[in-house]
Every structure is written in C-alpha cells, then in structure tokens.
Amino acid sequence: MFKRIVISTLLCLLSISVFASNKTVLSQVETMTVAKSGLQYNARIDTGAVNTSLHAVDLEIIGGASKKMKSNVGKIVEFTTENERGEKKRIQAEIVSTSRVKNSQGIETRYMVKLDVGFPSELHDIHVNLRDRSHMNYKLLIGRNFLKHNYIVDVSDKKTIGPLAELSIKQTGLMYNTRIDTGAVENSLHAVNIRVENEDKVNIENNIGKMITFTTANEKGEKADVRTKIRGTSLIRNAQGTERRYMVRLSVGEPRHEFIVDVNLKDRTKMGYKLLIGRNWLQGHYMVDVSKKH
C-alpha cells in the first residue's frame, strides 16, 4: 500500500513538472500585437492585473451612444490606438461588457472589447479594457486573462547567452573564449604554477583562508598572475576519476558587467577552453540558447 502511494505521488509530481515545462515563459516586457491594428507594442506583462488593457482615445459608438455605458454593450466601438513609437491606427471592436477598475486615481468604468492579442504567430481572443494610456510608458498591458493561456512569467530579467562567449575576469585583465556548460556545477579556470603561503601539503583543507598565487592564460597565450584568498575546496568527479581543487572568488562576466563568483582552479593546458562556465555563474543571471552565435 505504501509503495503504491509513493508511486502515485511520484507520477503526480512528474505530471506537474511536464505540465509546467510545456508553458511558454514570458519576460517582464514582450513585443506583442493587436491583430486589427497591425501595430507592434512593447507590452508590459502584469500578473497583478486581472484584465488586459489597451491604449484607446477618441472613442465613438457606431450608431450612437446611450448615456449609460452598460447600455452600449453589444454595440461596436471605434477608437484610435497608438504604440510606443507613435504609430496610430483607428480600429473597431465589439463591446462585450464594462469593467470597474480601482487605481490610484479612484474608480473608473471602462469598455471591455473582444480583440485578438499576442504574438503574430500565437494570438488569443480575449477581453481587453480600453483606456487612455497616453501618460503611461506601455500602451498595452497584458493581464492574467491572457496569461492563463499556458504562459508563465519570469521576472528575473535574465539575459541570453550562447554555448560560447567572450568573458572577462577582472583580476586577470584578460578576455577568455569561454565554454558555457550547463552540465557543470561550478566555473573552472586554467591555473598553473600554484603557490600557497605556508602550505599544508598533506591536507589541503588546512589551506582554506590562506593566500594563493597562480598563473592563468587565455586561448591567445596571454598570461597573468593572480593573488587572492582560498575560499574552499571542491571535490570534482570526471572521466579521469576524483580530484580536489582549490576554490577562489573572482569577478567574471561580460566586460564592465562582471560579478563575483566562486571558481575552481585546474590545469587546463590540454583543453580547448581555459575558462569553463558552470551553473553557479548562470543561475539567476542567464538563460542558455545553444543556437545563439558566438
């Protein structure tokens, strides 16, 4: 019975994982379109908004407007919309309801219309409220009624990097033709001629906190000596077996955008790439696109 429960739980977790992986990941801002407009918008993705909102001015109810907004439901409204580049379009849409929206200015009632919104290759027929967004940075705001169509939002604002990248290590003054390896837990830097002050050669764990000096080189053969503190050691398993390496903290990244990260030291003389980037550098900062050109 216990085994059956465990198996059922594992299957449930697996199905949840598969379900999540099938969803499209959106960043905080995406380029989207409203089908009838033919315009491209820098759309703000807002999980706090129930409904999607589009910039609209000069509203005109075709056939005449009733005094009460609710009485205009079912009629066609014509309006002018505009994107962030100032491109304008006059379009029509059916009013499906009205929406009372609370914001910092108080409570306002807006028309809700049916529009096809999204990416040119993936549009969704959704309800959109119309409002004057002239003073707002984003003329199209995407709310939860769009996101429920199999989307998740990544607000970490991660950059994209390819399988190879030109990266800098501040302490060396060198640029490296770097291999990006999502299979590696840690970053690894070519290091030879390693010297540790007052080194314990029997137990390297006793060298943690001591100063270390080493020579590194990039793929062009340019060399630099680095002196820093040993932060720890790392047990690495690979095809050659198991080895323990020193860990140091260095500033690694794109030029002028380096950030501090732990790096293990290894003689990479026979390897094509003198700097290998692992998950401890990528996490929270980059997504890897293997199709991206170097």
In the numeric block, which tokens belong to residue 94? 């059916």
**Confidence class for position 13, pLDDT limits 50, 70, 90:** very low
Counted domains in the chain = 2
Residue 17 within any structural domain of the chain? no
**Confidence class for position 105, pLDDT limits 50, 70, 90:** low
Residue 112 within any structural domain of the chain? yes
Same domain, 190 and 71: no
Of the candidates 122, 117, 115, the one whose C-alpha atom is nearest the C-alpha of residue 24 is 122
Say which residue, 6 or 200, is predicted with more confidence. Answer: 200
Position 98 pLDDT exceeds 50 = yes
Distance CA 222, CA 217 (A): 5
Which of residues 153, 188, 222 is at a domain's end? 153
Distances, alpha carbon 61 to alpha carbons 54, 97, 123, in Å:
17, 14, 26
Say which residue, 209 or 14, is predicted with more confidence. Answer: 209
Residue 15 within any structural domain of the chain? no
Distance CA 179, CA 113 (A): 50
Position 39 pLDDT exceeds 90 = yes
Distance CA 145, CA 128 (A): 9
Of the candidates 231, 242, 182, the one whose C-alpha atom is nearest the C-alpha of residue 205 is 231
Residue 55 within any structural domain of the chain? yes
Distance CA 163, CA 182 (A): 9
CATH number, domain with residue 165 = 2.40.70.10
Same domain, 146 and 33: yes
Structure confidence at residue 157 (pLDDT): 67
The residue count of the chain comes to: 294
Distance CA 56, CA 45 (A): 18
Q: Give 216-243 pLDDT, tens digit per residue.
A: 999 999 999 999 999 999 998 866 778 9
Q: Output DSSP code: residue 282.
A: H
Structure confidence at residue 103 (pLDDT): 63
Q: Which domain holds residue 143?
A: 24-153
Same domain, 143 and 178: no
